[in-house]
Structure formats: structure tokens, C-alpha cells
Amino acid sequence: MAKASCYFSSLPSPFVSSIGRPNMLPAHINVPRCCSQQPSSSPLATTLAEIQNSGVIACLRAKSAELAMEAAHAALRGGISVLEIVMSTPGVFEVLQELVGTVLNTIDAKNAIKAGAKFLMSPAMVKDILDDVQSKEVLYIPGVMTPTEVLNAHSAGAIIVKVYPVSSLGGAQYISALKKPFPHIPMVASQGITVESLGTYIARGASAVVLSDAIFGKEAMDQQNFDAIRQLSQLAVSRGDEAVQSTGPGQGDFQLNQGLKRLAGFDIPSVCNGEREGKDSVQGEKKDSSREEGGREEKMEKK
């Protein structure tokens, strides 16, 4: 079985766990020279990079811990590297200890982290979790819906956000619209996304998508058809890899860099712009001094 490094969620949706696939970190993380420090070796940065690189977060809801475990193993065999398990699943913390998990409040969040979770995700922002649980070891992905919520979550310290319920809000077009004013904020698209449409979401700016019924369909779960889950997982992973690769080193690396820089305490626009402003001001001073010298020379000629 693949080694699972668990990630975590909060509120009425799933626990998130990432099962590390080899070579998950991108070989090309372009760092602006003005922001050269990068915490790429930290667990939190590795989690962020893995989500960005996978493109797919599989969301599992199950009626029992045994069913959840079997379905999770099937998804892992299919290549899924980031897995979310709904908190309502019986024995969810036991499953988390082996794989992953989800929470509704800070108590559940802390229990999940003790069980091995490395990131938390929720359909709405839970300020208490953001304030009390988030650390250099754990990534919290709050849910957002409107531009105001995106900005508020980012201003409160969120490094990446989950746009939910995205299909009801306009789908991939809504992600595209949100990315225009917030190109620097990585976003996960969640709700109603299919394997066929995941590439469109990533192409429109999503760092990753959450797939639930698209992998863990009701019929497959009821019939315990784990081979079908494995096959759907393989297809989703393949489509996710293609979508991430098709974005090239530009879009994906830009979003990842923004998150990594924020982990290091950098405000990229302000740092980089500050350098540019400094250079511009020096150039401006030179221009002003040249004008003054030119003015003096004209006055001397007139005299």
C-alpha cells in the first residue's frame, strides 16, 4: 500500500489526506529573485505543492469505517494522492489514522491532527480553526463562495481556499471570474465536478478540483464495486495529470509560488513592487537631477 500522509478538513464535509506519490513536487518552481527565500522543504509547503501537482482531491463518504477503508484503498490503487473523508463516516478518526479525515470545529480538528492529518478543509471558513489550529505543519483550506469571502479568508491568513458550491455558482466560468481579481490566491473547486469537466476547471484557474460521486458513485459504493472505484480513480488521475501539465509552468507555478511565499511571510506583490518602486524612484531622481542641471545650463547661457 502507498504511504499515506494525512490531510484534514473541517465542517460538514470530508477529512483530507494526501497519499504521497513519487515526484510530487514540481521540478520547476520559479521564484522571483526579489522573493528568493522559499520554504519548499516544510511539510506545509510539501502539502501545498502536492495538491497543486495532483490536480484532484477525491472526496469519500461512507456508511461504515470498513467500507471507507476499502473504498479508500481502491482509490489509492488507482493512483489518487489526495483523499478527503467525510466526518459523518463512522469511525472516521480510526480511518484517519490509517489514511485521512474531516472536522466541524477546533476540537475535531485537533483530534484529526493527532491522528495524522496534515491539512484541514471545510465548505466555509471557520475562523477558530484558522486562528487556533493552523501552523507550519498543517494547511487549512477554508471554503469560500463570494469575492468578499475569498478576500476575507486570504486577509485572515488562508494560503489557499476552496470555492464551494462551484457548480451552483457558475462552474468553471465562475472560477475564471474569481481568478481575474485574485490571480495570486490558489483555489480548489468543489461540488458537482465530473472527470470530464475537471480539465476545464484547472484550465480556468483552479489549482485542483474535488471529485466525490465522480469516483465514489452511489452504485459502486452500495455494491462495494471497488474495482470500478479503482478504474474511475485511474481515469481521474490521468485527466488531472494532463490538465496540470497542459497549464504549463506559468499558471500552476505562479499560484504555487504565491502560496509558498506566503508561508515564508512574504507579500509577493508588495515585496516585488517595492523593489520596482525603489528602482523607479532612483530613476526618477536621476531624471529630476538631469532636468535641474539642464535648467541651470540654460540660465547660464542666457546670462
Q: 137 pLDDT exceeds 60?
A: yes
Strand partners, 17: 83
Q: Is pLDDT at 20 greater than 90 in this prediction?
A: no
Render the burial of 179-215: b for 16+ CB within 10 Å, e for the rest: beebebbbbbbbbbbebebbbbbbebbbbbbbbbbbb
What confidence score (pLDDT) does residue 134 get?
62
Q: Can you give the residue ranges of every domain in the chain?
A: 8-266
Q: What is the mean pLDDT of residues 114-133?
A: 82
Tally of residues, the chain: 303
pLDDT tens-digit series, residues 29-52:
222 223 333 444 577 888 888 899
* pLDDT for the residue 136: 58
Q: Per-residue pLDDT averaged across 10-33, rounded?
A: 32
Span 176-189, mean pLDDT?
Answer: 96
Q: What pLDDT sits at residue 295? A: 53
pTM here is: 0.74
Instruction: Tell me what percent of the chain is helix, strand and coil, each rounded to the nearest 5.
Output: 50, 15, 35
User: 264 vs 6, which has greater pLDDT?
Assistant: 264
Using pLDDT thresholds of 50, 70 and 90, give the confidence band for residue 3. Answer: very low
On whether the CB atoms of residues 69 and 42 are closer than 8 A, the answer is no
| Average of per-residue pLDDT across 104-108 | 74
Task: Give the per-residue pLDDT at 251.
Answer: 60
Please indicate whether residue 140 or residue 210 has the higher confidence score (pLDDT). 210
| Mean pLDDT on 64-69 | 92
8-266 under CATH 3.40.50.10880, yes or no: no
Range in 14-18, 33-37, 119-123, 161-165 with the lowest mean pLDDT: 33-37
The mean per-residue pLDDT over the stretch 182-209 comes to 96
Annotate 115-124 with b (16+ C-beta within 10 A) or e (fewer): bbbbbbbbbb
78 grid coordinates = 488507482
For residue 139, CA distances in Å to 27, 32, 121, 134, 158 come to: 22, 23, 8, 6, 9
Q: Quick one: average pLDDT of 1-5?
A: 36
